Amino acid sequence: MELLHQILPRVQKPARYTGGEWNAVNKDWDRAELKVAFGFPDVYEVGMSWLGLQIIYGIVNRRAGVLMERVFAPWPDMEEKMRENGLTLFTLESLRPVRDFDVCAFTLQYELSFSNVLNMLDLSGIPLRSEQRNEEHPLVIAGGPCAFNPEPLADFIDFFVIGEGEEAINDFLDVFLEAKRRKLSRRDFLLETAQIQGFYVPSLYHVLYRADGAVQKVFPLKEGIPEKVTKRCVRDLDRVFFPVRPVVPSTGVVHDRIMVEIMRGCTRGCRFCQAGIIYRPVREKKPDTVLKLADELVQNTGYDEISLASLSTSDYSRLQEVARSLLDKHSGCGVGVSLPSLRADNFSLELAKEVQRVRRSSLTFAPEVGTQRLRNVINKGVTGDDLLKTAGAAFRKGWQAIKLYFMIGLPTETEEDLDGIVMLAKNVLALGREAGVPRGRLRVTVSVSSFVPKAHTAFQWEPQTTQDELKKRQAYLAERLRQRGLVYNYHDPGMSFMEAVFARGDRRLGAVLLKAFELGCKFDGWSEHFHWESWREAFRLTGVDPASYAYRRFNHDDPLPWEHIDTGVSGKFLEDEHRRALAGITTGDCRTGTCPGCGLCSTLEIRPVYAGG
């Protein structure tokens, strides 16, 4: 404590490291039979904005005999002071070293956080490779969306949780506690864990490679270990645990508000979207559940905004009813409602107007591409006319700023598609002027990301566009979007390239990741800390060609490094969707049309649940 108090005045935002927040849980260390450190491999402000942390934290800490404490990646200034003074990584609740816990659990929300996982293990004094750990070391586990291709981290993680944590966490706690009582060895515990649905132990699987270096097969080494690891999936969102006493950050964070999940999953079927596959099927909460949770959260947090969270909030079947009920009850106390993830084709301007009772914000839409041809390719079920109609009405109702999200580098993209982005943005701007928005206040922000092919999507076989070509397309847009009222943002192609490498990678990337960490790579998701030259050197020193991951075009009969991970969506469905994409044929939403045959309902024996009946 004395050493920490000497360090904190010399770093940015010391509140990141002090703990003591409202609703934080401090359990008796000596009475806990199982102790878990939950690690978010990014800075406090990012990690505390993730709803999943609050959910898992609440589930574990309400169990007797078990505790969970939080730990985040220290910012480089804090890390420097820690290493100078020999201070190991510690949790916020008790300020105990992470290495003293039984389990160190990471969430993998994005590929560019992988180097931070290694850095946090190193700061904790925990051996990086799983094969180097013994009975004295914490078990290192990981879950989250990036666990659906776990292979790049296979050398470092003892086991992965595949699927939704609420469904799996109690099974893990039960098995671990029983293993401790039986005094099982680490190896025997992992053998038993690997036989539970959704738990993947990479050390119990072997990878064969073809002569050309591509993965031929991933298979289990022991009888009783499944050939495929099937994801865990929550059946009923109304009955599953949801935190009504979340930890309230003691400093500003990215999403500083109440978050109520109203729906999980999305069946829109955008072919680039991994979340739309791994979070299927759609499950909605009943309005009464949402309203009750919101009431308790308002009382227990002091926030002045309620965010109705989901992958596609405007698809929630009872949205207007719920939003109006929340506003009627809470707006008089200065508590507003925000609606993220809106779509231009089912956007209700009257509802948007309603939620502005307390405060007005900008509107955000994601047309993704500039032409209808390419929208059909990616199966984006909106049109340019949908967007223009909505934008024009919004400007006439008093909005002055609209944000548009696009993607470049998608399969079959041409210069005409880039021109479509420019035309759409300028047409939205023109609608603002026609509506009489003052020139100094009218703003249309165009944010352009680069396509990253992801595992388990219809575009998993497609290569990424090269960095040089992405830079040319970014420059092409920049030249044509220079106009008063337009703001143009874009992503670093090098960062997108590294995302693609790890999103489609195999176990050989473990050596690259380790070398990059040794060369100082960390916080790669932050542009000011991303060093492409260090990564390039890591690839050179390990003899691994990153282009073979990012730029390779797979055939449908090629084995994929992640095929032993089962989302419940059939490979045949993804192949058919890929063919339909290249033919420009759209696929309907199973919520509003016929079943497209993704296979999930029969595989997991769970069907969509809609609050609207």
Query: Domain segments of the chain: what residues?
Result: 2-211
pLDDT tens per residue, range 533-562 = 999 999 999 999 999 999 999 999 999 999
199 contact partners, CB below 8 Å, separation of at least 6: 159, 160, 161, 162, 168, 172, 193, 229
The rounded percent of the chain whose pLDDT value lies above 90 is 84
Residue 208 confidence class, pLDDT cut points 50, 70, 90: very high
Q: Supply the pTM of this predicted model.
A: 0.96
Mapped to the 3 state alphabet, what secondary structure does 467-515 carry? HHHHHHHHHHHHHHCCCCCEEEEECCHHHHHHHHHHHCCCCCHHHHHHH
Q: Which H helix or E strand runs over 395?
A: helix 384-396
Give the amino acid at 154: A
**Mean pLDDT, rounded, of the chain:** 94
The pLDDT tens digits for 236-257 are 999 999 999 999 999 999 989 9
**pLDDT at position 166, please?**
94
The radius of gyration of the chain's CA atoms, rounded to the nearest angstrom, is 24
Instruction: Give the rounded percent of residues in the chain with a pLDDT score beyond 70.
Output: 99
Task: Report residue 219 as tokens.
Answer: 């298979």
